[in-house]
Chain A
Amino acid sequence: MCLAIPSKIVEINEAGLGIIDVDGVKRDCSLLMIDSPQIGDYVIVHAGFALHKIDEVEAGKMLDTLREVAFYSQGLEPDKKE
């Protein structure tokens, strides 16, 4: 029941409704449960509601940590994949 794929907000109307794009598929979505939604934001949507706006900075930091954890012990460059 949980949709794990973050969707991009592509349209917002005054009533707090938006249109999201998940891999090319567009759907209606309520934006009432997130703070100041903007077009271009990535959100996690469940049962027709955006429930979380992804923090790009946090996501980037986490990915760096993850690469460090994964590649660290063999002394590989963590950013080898860039």
Chain B
Amino acid sequence: MALKHVEEYRDSEIAKKLIERIHETSTKDFKVMEVCGTHTMSIFKNGIRDVLPDTVSLISGPGCPVCVTAQKDICAFIDIARMENTIVTLFGDLMKVPGGDSTLMLERANGADVRIVYSALDSIKIAQENPDKKVVFLGVGFETTAPTIAASIQAASKMGLKNFFVYTAHKLVPPALEVLMNTEGVKIDGFLLPGHVLLISGTDEYVPFVEKYKIPTVVGGFEPVDILHAMLMMIQQFEEGKGTLENAYQRAVSAEGNVIAKNAMYDVFETSTAIWRGIGPIPESGLSINDKYKEFDASIALGLDVKEVDEPKGCACGAILTGLMSPPDCKLFKKVCTPINPIGPCMVSNEGTCAAFYKYHV
């Protein structure tokens, strides 16, 4: 059975034509940042880098949730896993990120109860089944993930669950774009925005940013045709000296986004300053659990003392996430740092730029 809403966007005839249009249109050097790790992976997997003209260069941005998680949060995850009577639940890609001298994978091998879940709701089930244990969900992710975590906290509250907690390291995308535009040395001519983040936030949220910086900005889906279409739109804008916000992913992204999801998110969370790996603190870019739901906040309930921790020595993830460096520029890349023995999170996550370069490139 053909996959509906997918096959059409993998059509090689349309893709070929879009590539031709891109070659016809692009005359000036254009540096575009694909903000999100899912785009990075799709671009590599579909060989899109190889078919674009030499004028177009791609930089992978800070939109891989694991990659931007601060070292202090990773260390806190490991501390939680080491606590007595505790079950840690998480999405799988956090397992191998090194924090201090350990990873969650190692902790599990040493007897910690660490369980990969598919949805935060699974953690609730685990909490119900283990009333004498504390169940702590480790939450990382952007606007796409945060509402699902919020919904699980709302559900736990409704059920009166007393043994379910969330450690939140969730982040919002727009404040990070703002920082990128103001970082010394960073030069970006256009942004490919992640469809799945905007599916929640809606395009309206990005209007102030695009109006301020007047930079070609296009929301794209994740199939090859979606990406090429968005690229073409950005390049057309750039060539015409325009800098507006366009949507190449209308089947999923609207102006207002998913209001139900946003309401859930802001019922449970409030914005706060978050530390982004390699970038540093960004005001209003994090989501903390608000007073109404604070009994579910793992940092409070477990009395965590989360201290600043240095990032791994020699790891250039920060410079890579801001487009200042490319993975092969990192001295550790492929020599010391590999997917089997990752030094930084950009090599760990499936969506990490270093992992993508390792898998598909040099």
Contact = CB atoms under 8 A, between A and B. Distances in A.
Interface of A: 1-2, 4-6, 8, 23-24, 27-28, 30, 32-35, 42, 44, 46-49, 51-52, 54-55, 58-59, 61-63, 66-67, 69-71, 73-74, 80-81
B249 to A, nearest CB: 8
B17 A70 contact: yes
Interface in B1-51: 1, 3-6, 8, 11, 13-14, 17-18, 21, 24, 36-38, 42
Given A28-B119, A52-B252, 13 more contacts: A33-B261, A44-B196, A44-B252, A46-B148, A47-B91, A47-B144, A47-B148, A49-B119, A59-B251, A66-B225, A69-B229, A70-B14, A71-B17
Nearest to B120: A47
Given A46-B148, A67-B14, A54 B251 contact: yes
B144 A51 contact: yes
Contacts of B13: 80-81
Contacts of A73: 21, 24
Contacts of A28: 119
Contacts of B252: 44, 52, 54
B65 interface: yes
8 closest residue pairs by CB, A with B:
A48-B119, A70-B17, A4-B222, A59-B251, A2-B196, A6-B5, A47-B148, A49-B148
Contact of B144 (A34, A46, A80): A46
B187 to A, nearest CB: 27
A30 B264 CA distance: 14
Contacts of A51: 144, 147-148, 196, 199-200, 258, 261
Provide the main secondary structure of the chain B interface.
Answer: helix
Contacts of A35: 260
B250 A33 contact: no
Contacts of B37: 1
Given A2-B196, A4-B38, A58 B250 contact: yes
Contacts of A5: 3, 6
A61 to B, nearest CB: 8
Contacts of A81: 11, 13-14
Contacts of A42: 4-5
A33 B5 contact: no
B119 A30 contact: yes
A42 B221 CA distance: 16
Contact of A52 (B119, B145, B223, B258): B258
B351 interface: yes
